[in-house]
Structure 1
Amino acid sequence: TAIKPKADVSLLLAQIIMLDGRHAEAEQLLAEALQLDPHHGGVLIARGDLRARQGRQAEAVADYELARQLDPYRTTTVVRNRLAQLDRTRTTP
């Protein structure tokens, strides 16, 4: 039997690839993960993290907020921390 793709596997691969600075590949894997599970808060947080690293703060905030909306049980605390972190980087000269 063929192995079915899973959002968690794509998410983990994307996070590893992100650490290597391969952002385009990571973004593609995160897109695949969202196709597999559009309500996976962890995938949205990872995409927000990627976008924040790329200086795309507004998109990162949108991803974090969507994660909190779609998957509040798993993401609320993480999202709160990420948004606070973005606020600090915006206000730090």
Structure 2
Amino acid sequence: NAVNGTSAIPYVNSEDKHGTACSGTIAARTNNGVGVSSVGNNYVRVMPVNIMSQVYAGGSFATTSTIQIAAVNAAINNPNCVAIAMSYGGSSYSAALES
């Protein structure tokens, strides 16, 4: 949980659905009996890291570059991490995040 620097699972509300869909696309179990498979073909595991400090109706959320940097650092510090997917948008630029 990059929002508060703990391993606590953050509160998830009914608007917080984006990460589940992205993770499922990457790492759903093939032949799982639900009719879903993934691009990972049972070889990929996901390390979810929360960057949402507030989730709003319609699925938008608030975050900061400090939180995003903490999330990237958490992934980089995982020796099993081979890729980072960050599926969010925004209009502001952060030199610190780019670095």
TM category, shorter: 0.3 to 0.5
Return the index of the structure with the highest Cα Rg. 2
Greater relative contact order (Cα < 8 A, sep 6+): 2
Structure having the larger proportion of residues in strand: 2
TM-score (ref. length: structure 1): 0.38
